[in-house]
Homo-oligomer: A and B are copies of this chain.
Amino acid sequence: MLSERRLEVLRAIVQDYVGTEEPVGSKALTERHKLGVSPATVRNDMAVLEDEGFIAQPHTSAGRIPTDKGYRLFVDRLAGVKPLSAPERRAIQNFLDSAVDLDDVVGRTVRLLAQLTRQVAVVQYPSLTRSTVRHVELLSLAPARLMLVLITDTGRVEQRMIDCPVPFGDTSLADLRARLNARVVGRRFSDVPLLVQELPESFDLEDRGTVSTVLATLLETLVEETEERLMIGGTANLTRFGHDFPLTIRPVLEALEEEEQVVLLRLLGEAEDSGMTVRIGHENAHEGLNSTSVVAVGYGSGDEAVAKLGVVGPTRMDYPGTMGAVRAVARYVGQILAES
């Protein structure tokens, strides 16, 4: 068990290292923090902390830097979440309030997070699996060409073109539109397949093929769009990662950009639904992110989280501040979504 003072020493090391980006020695520590003990004592404490694996020396006779385990202890027991200042809160609210649609909300959220934390921000679009259908629209663009528009309760809109096997009359179209909406509006996406299953049978034989095609497209859209989407921002902040960043930055950029963004999605997915999740260094499954930390939290329009957002930064980050910003932004985005 670590004594109170040793924890205090660890906290001081983390704070100093985060600030200066340089290994911190015993003398410097006593000068900058009121620990009430001499450097020699601190050295003894440091030796213990090092034995326990919380700090390490880059090389003999250098100062100490925190290990992932050290940051973990810091986050779990030594650091609170630093609330944002009132002006910051107001700025967030103002900025998010002026968003015009979902894309805009997500875009603004990303920019905001990146700016507040000066790190790379990642925001997941509200997930469709937990969404409900607000409206399904069918438009006739040409005699045998339809457009299907799907609107979700989170304000997301998806559209698909449909080529009909045979021309489809306007009355049939209105009929289908009405019956479709009667069945699915307000329902969860996952329930839709069952709800529309028997719909084609109630139509004339000649229209049945088209109806089936439409339904197939609808279901396909549901599946396709259930795949999560993300928005990323603030990659310019990667240059702040550290002096040795050429080596660090590469894998991170690659992870951020990688084809289907599975890495990032999994990263956010691993975060718990409620409460903030902090993954530090090697706690991240993806190798390229072994020298980064991820702070993520769920957000939603109601009690339930519909998606997640977070930031990716160097393990050497200001955890209390970052966590405060992430939490605050998530809260406000949730409010905005609830209002719309």
Binding site for B on A (CB under 8 A): 100-101, 111, 134-135, 137, 139, 141, 147, 149, 151, 155, 157, 159-161, 224, 233-236, 238-239, 245-246, 249-250, 253-254, 256-257, 259, 340
Contacts and interface: CB of A to CB of B under 8 A. Distances in A.
Given A100-B224, A141-B151, A149-B157, 15 more contacts: A101-B161, A111-B259, A134-B141, A135-B141, A137-B149, A139-B151, A147-B151, A155-B161, A157-B159, A234-B257, A235-B253, A236-B250, A236-B254, A236-B256, A245-B246
Contacts of A245: 246
A248 B245 CA distance: 13
Contacts of A234: 257
Nearest to A137: B139
Contacts of A135: 139, 141, 147
B249 A239 contact: yes
Contacts of A235: 235, 253, 257
B101 A160 contact: yes
A76 to B, nearest CB: 33
Contacts of A257: 233-236
A232 to B, nearest CB: 10
A333 to B, nearest CB: 18
Contact of A238 (B155, B161, B253): B253
Nearest to A181: B139
Secondary structure dominating the interface of A = mixed
A101 B159 contact: yes
A253 B239 contact: yes
A284 to B, nearest CB: 18
Contacts of A100: 160, 224
Nearest to A115: B259
13 contacts: A101-B160, A135-B141, A135-B147, A139-B151, A147-B151, A157-B159, A233-B257, A234-B257, A235-B235, A235-B253, A236-B256, A239-B250, A239-B253
Which 5 residue pairs of A and B lie closest in terms of their CB atoms, listed nearest first? A236-B253, A239-B250, A236-B254, A157-B159, A236-B257
A174 B239 CA distance: 55
A11 to B, nearest CB: 31
Given A245-B246, A246-B246, A157 B157 contact: yes
Nearest to A151: B147
Contacts of A236: 250, 253-254, 256-257
Contact of A137 (B137, B238, B249, B250): B137
Pick the most buried of A100, A250, A253, A256: most chain B CB atoms within 10 A of its CB: A253
Nearest to A253: B236
Contacts of A155: 161
Pick the most buried of A149, A234, A239, A259: most chain B CB atoms within 10 A of its CB: A239
A155 B155 CA distance: 20
Contacts of A160: 100-101
